[in-house]
């Protein structure tokens, strides 16, 4: 165990317990954007939506031991990794942060020390060498690109975010920071994060093209609480997404970002994303879309910009954009469009038109409390209406439980607990947990959770792999925090019986209410466990978002921390690795932001074949409210998302890939569906004996008690048929017949709305439960194959 001085302890608990934009500090109020009481103009405040203020209650005294140490964590599956350092301060590598010294080399040494290299090559694999690069307060001069590798997390001081300042001698075309690990494809750049820093290019000549950040990354990445400061009327760009020939990536979420000055704030080039709480001030174009299949934007604030969202640049066509709950003040135009657009709850002040389509302004005076669509619209009865010139539609009724006091969808910033004293944190290693990937840590972690909830302490998991062999009960009052995605993994006979599946993580019990916050964690499966539900949530909060998961991801196989990596290789015989990933029970209410439910399609650390057949992705019977922002659910056998009699759901961007090995074997194999207990699909509607009909549903919405499901932005992709990346062999070269199923009992009063549904390589985009086809890809061409801008009763 590594011991630290008091000063280091204070630093470390401030750094690796970083959790998004909830910090409070008088010098950096501009990083935290909230809205004013009239539902309109935003203002700046040092508050936040995270409800973390509950933590400011006095800590328990009697029976609450002081924390003994803060371990830097270990990477247990790294060969000869006993002395490997996860936590690294740039100042330990020579950085000065004095605003004068060139600190470029020091930054790159901190990132690459101990043989860290592109693609996790050598002894590490992708997952073996995580690194938390801490940047204390100061101004750091950078003259050439700071290069990140997969598994790198950059975290600045949350109370005084450091300034990473481009040197005046920086060359034209330089990226200040590049998060694109060029040894990999952009679509496999996982586990990279940046938060709590300022990227400043104001010392570089305005006529140079400078990129503050290259963010060509994919799932399980984390970009939040970053300020981009550029000279006005310059050629500088805040974020680009340039992965070379591999494109801009396949991401899920970014949020709590601020941009000032420059030519473009966000130069978007990615398959799909959810963007939340982005502020632009005096930027020529706030968001310029170079390429997007679908992107959902909410809480976008543009002030003194020419174009807030340019979705029509470079003749971009085919993709889809949803823009919600956003404000333009002194803008030339709010949205420039030439593609599938859904606009809802927008407000402008002293601005030009809300939308311009193919160069023509649409005379829409106001969209506050209204909805507008451009593209293919379905009334929900199979009748398609082309809205190629745009159309106002009846707005949906948002339930009060889902929205804030101004009628916007509620959001919550990832808590960072910056206000808390050192004694408010307790490491699970103080309770005896080893995190070595071998020791059974169940009892130690359970004791820590119970004690820390009782004492209002944050439970900290230093990086490691924590093996649990029984259900961990997470009581009200819990706050769990990892370090560079600490791993908790299930093992043992408790999770072996598929007829009696059990959760590894049980969040509360039915009827319980309170706070349960999870952040910077990764849940895994150590062995073939057909009776495992990875996470089960029964609890709700007293307040909106009390139960929340931020930057929490799921990995089933594909890494050295799991026997699945080597046990599930036989072609056409996928192993039943886990029963279900997430189960949201009736009494639950949860806020999930930035979460990837991944059954491995490839090996991250070695080159073993991965034939893994997780049963189910996310299954919700919750009465709500439920918020899903920037989630992905990939490669599960029966379905990715299933809602049964669920109520009051808001989802911003849901991304799905079908299992690469399907339809060999055909679903439901290797599972036997249980329609009575779990309402599993049995694929009995596949009448024509076409193999591509027997594949994972991306989305099922079932039950005539369903009410208030509002889904914005769906990216449902199918790439292959059969093992070894077999080419698509369905009708007319398609990969899959059906992908979305709606209960045939659903009616208009069920209030189900699907906005910007995007599909690739499917025949039928939407069918009902009796097999009736409601929308086909060939009649709704666009995006990566098909796109329906709105499917609902009007």
* Nearest-angstrom CA–CA distance, 372 and 374: 7
pLDDT of amino acid 16: 41
CB 386 within 8 A of CB 367: no
Contacts of 185 (CB under 8 A, 6+ apart): 243, 246
- pTM beyond 0.75: the answer is yes
pLDDT of amino acid 81: 82
Q: Decide: helix, strand or coil at residue 406.
A: coil
Distance of CA 373 to the CA centre of its chain: 26
Beta strands in 36-171, from DSSP E residues, in sequence order: 42-44, 87-89, 98-102, 131-135, 139-142, 146-147, 152-156, 163-166
* Nearest-angstrom CA–CA distance, 441 and 433: 5
Residue 294: both structure tokens together: 């679908």
As averages over each run of 10 residues, the pLDDT of the chain (794 residues) reads 35 41 33 31 31 35 60 88 93 98 99 90 83 98 98 97 99 98 94 98 99 98 98 99 96 99 98 99 98 97 98 70 98 92 96 92 89 85 68 90 98 95 94 97 99 96 98 99 98 98 99 98 99 99 99 98 95 96 99 99 93 98 99 99 99 98 97 98 90 98 97 98 93 97 92 97 96 94 94 75
Query: Alpha carbon of 627 to those of 32, 399, 539, 661: distances in Å?
Result: 21, 12, 14, 31
pLDDT of amino acid 9: 39
Neighbours of 361 (CB within 10 A): 13
Query: Alpha carbon of 783 to those of 195, 383, 629, 714, 756: distances in Å?
Result: 31, 21, 21, 11, 10
Residue 659: both structure tokens together: 């299992």
Domains of the chain: 75-261 (2.160.20.10), 284-375 (no CATH), 457-791 (2.160.20.10)
CB 339 within 8 A of CB 311: yes
* Nearest-angstrom CA–CA distance, 526 and 556: 8
pLDDT of amino acid 409: 99
Q: What is the pLDDT of residues 706-717, one digit of tens each?
A: 999 999 999 999
Contacts of 779 (CB under 8 A, 6+ apart): 376, 384
DSSP 14: H
| Helix then strand then coil, % of the chain, to nearest 5 | 10, 45, 45
pLDDT of amino acid 63: 62
Contacts of 189 (CB under 8 A, 6+ apart): 150, 179, 180, 181, 216, 217, 218, 221, 243, 249
Peptide bond into 772 cis (omega under 30): no
Q: Give the position of tokens 């700046």.
A: 44
Instruction: Please choose, from the candidates 165, 150, 359, 102, the residue with its C-alpha nearest in 3D space to the C-alpha of residue 249.
Output: 150
């Amino acid at each position: 165990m590594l011991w630290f001085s008091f000063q280091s302890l204070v630093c470390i608990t401030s750094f690796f317990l970083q959790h998004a934009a909830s910090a409070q500090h008088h010098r950096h109020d501009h990083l935290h954007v909230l809205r004013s009481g009239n539902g309109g103009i935003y203002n700046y405040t040092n508050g936040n939506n995270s409800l973390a203020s509950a933590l400011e209650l006095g800590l328990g005294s009697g029976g609450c031991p002081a924390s003994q140490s803060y371990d830097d964590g270990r990477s247990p599956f790294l060969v000869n990794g006993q002395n490997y350092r996860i936590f690294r301060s740039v100042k330990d590598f020579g950085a000065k942060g004095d605003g004068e010294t060139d600190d470029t080399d020091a930054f790159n040494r901190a990132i690459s020390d101990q043989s860290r290299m592109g693609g996790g090559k050598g002894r590490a694999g992708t997952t073996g060498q995580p690194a938390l690069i801490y940047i204390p307060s100061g101004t750091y001069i950078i003259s050439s690109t700071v290069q990140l590798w997969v598994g790198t997390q950059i975290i600045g001081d949350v109370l005084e975010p450091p300034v990473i300042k481009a040197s005046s001698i920086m060359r034209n075309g330089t990226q200040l920071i590049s998060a694109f690990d060029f040894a990999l494809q952009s679509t496999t750049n996982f586990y990279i994060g940046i938060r709590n820093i300022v990227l400043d290019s104001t010392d570089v000549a305005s006529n140079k093209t400078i990129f503050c950040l290259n963010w060509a990354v994919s799932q399980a990445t984390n970009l939040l609480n970053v300020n981009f400061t550029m000279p006005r009327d310059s050629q500088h760009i805040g974020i680009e997404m340039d992965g070379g020939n591999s494109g801009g990536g396949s991401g899920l979420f970014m949020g709590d970002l601020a941009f000032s000055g420059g030519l473009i704030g966000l130069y978007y080039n990615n398959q799909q994303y959810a963007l939340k709480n982005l502020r632009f001030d005096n930027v020529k174009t706030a968001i310029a879309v170079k390429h997007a299949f679908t992107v959902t934007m909410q809480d976008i604030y543009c002030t003194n910009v020419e174009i807030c969202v340019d979705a029509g640049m470079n003749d971009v066509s085919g993709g889809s954009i949803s823009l919600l709950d956003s404000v333009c003040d002194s803008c030339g135009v709010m949205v420039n469009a030439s593609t599938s657009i859904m606009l809802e709850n927008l407000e402008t002040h002293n601005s030009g038109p809300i939308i311009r389509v193919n160069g023509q302004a649409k005379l829409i005076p106001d969209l506050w409390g209204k909805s507008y669509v451009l593209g293919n619209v379905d009334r929900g009865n199979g009748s398609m209406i082309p809205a190629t010139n745009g159309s106002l539609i009846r707005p949906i009724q948002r339930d009060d439980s889902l929205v804030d006091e101004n009628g916007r969808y509620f959001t919550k910033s990832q808590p960072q607990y910056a206000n808390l004293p050192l004694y408010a944190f307790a490491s699970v290693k103080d309770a005896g947990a080893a995190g070595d990937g071998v020791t059974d840590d169940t009892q130690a972690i359970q004791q820590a959770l119970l004690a820390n909830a009782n004492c209002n302490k944050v439970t900290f998991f230093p990086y490691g792999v924590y093996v649990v062999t029984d259900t961990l009960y997470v009581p009200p009052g819990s706050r769990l925090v990892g370090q560079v995605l600490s791993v908790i993994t299930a093992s043992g006979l408790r999770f072996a019986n598929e007829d009696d599946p059990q959760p590894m993580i049980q969040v509360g019990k039915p009827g319980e209410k309170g706070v349960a916050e999870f952040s910077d964690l990764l849940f895994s499966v150590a062995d073939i466990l057909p009776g495992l539900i990875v996470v089960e949530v029964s609890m709700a909060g007293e307040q909106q978002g009390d139960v929340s998961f931020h930057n929490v991801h799921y990995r089933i196989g594909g890494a050295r921390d799991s026997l699945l990596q080597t046990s599930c290789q036989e072609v056409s015989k996928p192993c039943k690795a886990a029963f279900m990933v997430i189960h949201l029970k009736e009494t639950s209410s949860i806020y999930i932001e930035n979460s990837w439910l991944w059954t491995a399609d490839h090996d991250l650390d070695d080159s073993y074949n991965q034939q893994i057949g997780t049963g189910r992705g996310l299954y919700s019977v919750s009465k709500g409210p439920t918020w899903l922002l920037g989630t992905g659910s990939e490669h599960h056998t029966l379905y990715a998302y299933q809602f049964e009699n669920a109520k009051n759901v808001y989802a911003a961007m849901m991304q799905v890939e079908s299992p690469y090995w399907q339809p060999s074997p055909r679903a439901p194999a290797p599972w036997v569906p249980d329609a009575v207990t779990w309402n599993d699909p049995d694929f009995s509607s596949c009448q024509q004996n076409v193999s591509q009909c027997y594949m994972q549903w991306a989305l099922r919405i079932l039950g005539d008690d369903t009410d208030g499901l509002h889904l914005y932005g769906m990216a449902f992709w199918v790439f292959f048929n059969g093992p070894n990346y077999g080419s698509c062999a369905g009708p007319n070269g398609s990969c899959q017949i059906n992908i979305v199923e709606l209960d045939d009992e659903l009616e208009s009063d069920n209030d189900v709305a699907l906005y910007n549904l995007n599909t690739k390589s499917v025949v039928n985009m939407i069918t009902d439960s009796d097999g009736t086809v409601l929308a086909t890809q060939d009649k709704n061409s666009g995006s990566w194959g098909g796109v329906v801008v709105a499917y609902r009763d009007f």
